[in-house]
C-alpha cells in the first residue's frame, strides 16, 4: 500500500451473519480524497463502512485500513484502528445531558486523553474547525440539527483521524444545512484526510461532484475505474 493510500481492498467480500452482502470489491482511497458511497437501502453501504472500522470481520479477500491488516487484526488492536477513524452518524448520538464540551471530553477520556490543558486546547481547535467555538457550553437541545451534526464532526476530529466515515450525515437536515455540511467535509478532506460519505441525497452531487462508489446488485462500482458519471450511477440504482 502506497504512503498516501489509507484504504485498500483486494477482492473483498462482505458478510453479515454469514449472509453475503457484497463481493469482489477492489478499491483504494487516498488520504486527501473525498468520495460518495451510494446505493439503495439494504444494498450494503453500512456493512461496508462497518468492515472498514472492524465492526464486522473480514473473511474473504485482503484489506488494509491505515496500515492495519483487517484479516489479521487482533481484538486488542481494534481500538487503535478506530482512533485513526472518525465516524459521523445520521442520528448524532450525542449525550443529551451533557454540554458540547462534555460530549467531546467523554470521547477523549475513552480514547486515552488525560492532560486537561491539552484536552481544552484540542476542543478549541476542533470546534473552531466546525465553526462552533462559541457553543462550547451549549447543551445539544439548544443547537439546531446542523449544529449538532457539526459537533459530531468535531467529535470525529478529536483524535486527528486519517479517515472520516460519514453514514448519511445529512439525512435529518434541510437542503441548505446539508450543503454547508458537505462543504465542511470537503474542506476536511483537503486538509489531508480521506472522507467517505454514504448518502441518499443525490442533489448534493451536482453542487459537489466527486468520486462515487455505488453498491449495486452485490457489487461496488467505482466511477473512476468504470468511467461512469455520477448521474449514470444514480440512474442505475433509482
> With 90 as the cut, is the pLDDT of residue 76 above it?
yes
- pTM comes to 0.91
Query: Contact at 8 Å (CB) between 186 and 155?
Result: no
Inside any domain, residue 131:
yes
Inside any domain, residue 102:
yes
- What is the pLDDT, as a whole number, of residue 232? 64
- The residue segments making up the domain with residue 132 are 93-160
Inside any domain, residue 155:
yes
- What is the pLDDT, as a whole number, of residue 228? 64
Inside any domain, residue 100:
yes
Between CA 235 and CA 216 the distance in angstroms is 11
Q: Tell me the pLDDT of the chain averaged across its residues.
A: 91
Contacts of 153 (CB under 8 A, 6+ apart): 86, 88, 130, 164, 169, 181, 184, 185, 188
- Apex 27 CA angle, 238 and 90, nearest 5: 55
Inside any domain, residue 234:
no
Between CA 159 and CA 157 the distance in angstroms is 6
Confidence of residue 3 (pLDDT cuts 50, 70, 90): confident
Average pLDDT of span 29-40: 94
Average pLDDT of span 184-201: 93
Task: Please give the share of the chain, as a percent, with pLDDT higher than 70.
Answer: 93
> With 80 as the cut, is the pLDDT of residue 111 above it?
yes
> With 90 as the cut, is the pLDDT of residue 140 above it?
yes
Inside any domain, residue 54:
no
In the chain, the number of structural domains is 1
Inside any domain, residue 154:
yes
For residues 126 and 224, the model is more confident at 126
Confidence of residue 202 (pLDDT cuts 50, 70, 90): confident
Average pLDDT of span 127-131: 94
Inside any domain, residue 216:
no
Amino acid at each position: 500500500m502506497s504512503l498516501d493510500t489509507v484504504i485498500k481492498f483486494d477482492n473483498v467480500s462482505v458478510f453479515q451473519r454469514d449472509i453475503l452482502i457484497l463481493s469482489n470489491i477492489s478499491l483504494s482511497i487516498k488520504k486527501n480524497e473525498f468520495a460518495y458511497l451510494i446505493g439503495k437501502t439494504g444494498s450494503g453501504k453500512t456493512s461496508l463502512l462497518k468492515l472498514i472500522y472492524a465492526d464486522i470481520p473480514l473473511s474473504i479477500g485482503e484489506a488494509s485500513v491505515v496500515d492495519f491488516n483487517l484479516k489479521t487484526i487482533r481484538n486488542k488492536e481494534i481500538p487503535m484502528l478506530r482512533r485513526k477513524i472518525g465516524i459521523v452518524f445520521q442520528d448524532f448520538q450525542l449525550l443529551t445531558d451533557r454540554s458540547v464540551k462534555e460530549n467531546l471530553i467523554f470521547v477523549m477520556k475513552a480514547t486515552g486523553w488525560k492532560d486537561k490543558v491539552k484536552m481544552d486546547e484540542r476542543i478549541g481547535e476542533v470546534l473552531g474547525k466546525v465553526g462552533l467555538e462559541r457553543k462550547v457550553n451549549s447543551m445539544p437541545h439548544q443547537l439546531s440539527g446542523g449544529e449538532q451534526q457539526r459537533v459530531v464532526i468535531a467529535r470525529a476530529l478529536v483524535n486527528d483521524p486519517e479517515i472520516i466515515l460519514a453514514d448519511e450525515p445529512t439525512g435529518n437536515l434541510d437542503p441548505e444545512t446539508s450543503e454547508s455540511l458537505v462543504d465542511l467535509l470537503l474542506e476536511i478532506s483537503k486538509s489531508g484526510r480521506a472522507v467517505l460519505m454514504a448518502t441518499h441525497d443525490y442533489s448534493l452531487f451536482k453542487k459537489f461532484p466527486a468520486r462515487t462508489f455505488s453498491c449495486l446488485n452485490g457489487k461496488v462500482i467505482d466511477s473512476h475505474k468504470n468511467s461512469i458519471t455520477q448521474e449514470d450511477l444514480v440512474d442505475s440504482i433509482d
